[in-house]
Amino acid sequence: MIRSELAENGYAVGPQLDAQQLAKGRSFFSELVSGPWPVGFVSTARDGPAEERNRVSRVVRELVRPVLSASLGSVQIFLAAILNKSPGTGTLTLHQDLTYTNEPISRSYTCWIPLVDPEPSNGAIRVVDGSHCWTTGIRPAGPGAAQQASGIMAEIEARATTPELRAGDLLIWDNALFHGSWANKSSLHRPALAATFTDPDAELRLHWAQSTTLLQAYKLDEHYLTDPHPFRAPPKSGIRLTPWGPPAAALEELPHKGACTVPHQRKS
Ligand SMILES: O=C(O)CCC(=O)C(=O)O
């Protein structure tokens, strides 16, 4: 069910963390914010000292893996983080996440689990149903990465919806889905656990656009992700691969839902 919703809509609301796991997630976040914690939108996948980022990643994986595998079977989690919006943080514009796999064969997804009830007033996630099919090709990191839909953002915004979730619910999206989050206008933090994953045997890749005409692909390994500054530069000594496609072409008009060829399961 979740797999077919992901293939068709690009997102699905899954089961919940149990009460004990939710309490563990909340107390872990309270411990983190009792120390120095930056204001604004923070993702521990990218922000902060490497040692601390990697510690958070281990704890989040342990919390998320059981509930994710119970509904999707075995998965390869390759990024895990706390995403927080402190009070007063603005909207996160609708965007697509990076391409981490050979997508015509294996998709990658992000599972987002709020630790408080998410509302439009405190930073809930917005999704654009079916928009994971709107672009094909690679969504790279790097200085040459293009904004996919800069000219038609208002039309995309008009199609965004806010899935109804409670604290501990799983929201899973295909990394090609347009999504973002509302501003946090409340007086409290809006923390979430996030785990990015793919099929157990899928090859992970990092795509780097050095310029709009130079796209490079690398095998993505654990060393890169645990590096002090991942995603700010291509891997120094990574294994080079041939990109499986061109960079995703910029959207110039709004496609309609349907005619989607996203696989449900890994294609062999
Ligand atoms: O946690 C949020 O507010 C947004 C998360 C998001 O859009 C992302 O991780 O790509």
Please report the pLDDT score of residue 250 as a whole number. Answer: 80
Q: Closest residue (by CA) to atom 7 of ligand 1?
A: 180
Please report the pLDDT score of residue 1 as a whole number. Answer: 86
Q: Closest residue (by CA) to atom 2 of ligand 1?
A: 181
Please report the pLDDT score of residue 93 as a whole number. Answer: 94
Which is the closest atom of ligand 1 to the Cα of 84? 1
State the distance from the centre of ligand 1 to the C-alpha of 83, rounded, in angstroms.
7
- Which mutation among 115, 125, 193 tests ligand 1's pocket best, with the greatest number of atoms within 8 A of CB? 125
Query: How many angstroms separate the CA atoms of 71 and 27, rounded?
Result: 25
Please report the pLDDT score of residue 259 as a whole number. Answer: 56
Going along the chain from its start, the domains and CATH numbers come out as 2-241 (2.60.120.620)
Query: How many angstroms separate the CA atoms of 163 and 15, rounded?
Result: 14
Please report the pLDDT score of residue 228 as a whole number. Answer: 76
Q: Which of 37, 85, 79, 70 is nearest to 204 (CA)?
A: 79
Which is the closest atom of ligand 1 to the Cα of 192? 1
Segments in the chain below pLDDT 50: none
- Ligand 1 neighbours, Cβ below 6 Å, are 83, 85, 92, 97, 110, 123, 179-181, 192, 194
State the distance from the centre of ligand 1 to the C-alpha of 150, rounded, in angstroms.
19
Q: Please give the full DSSP string across 105-156, using - where no structure is assigned.
A: T--EEEEEEESS---TTBT-EEE-TTGGGS--SB--BSTTPPPTTGGGHHHH
Whole-prediction pTM: 0.95
Please report the pLDDT score of residue 251 as a whole number. Answer: 83
CB 228 within 8 A of CB 126: no
φ, ψ for residue 163, nearest 5 deg: -60, 140
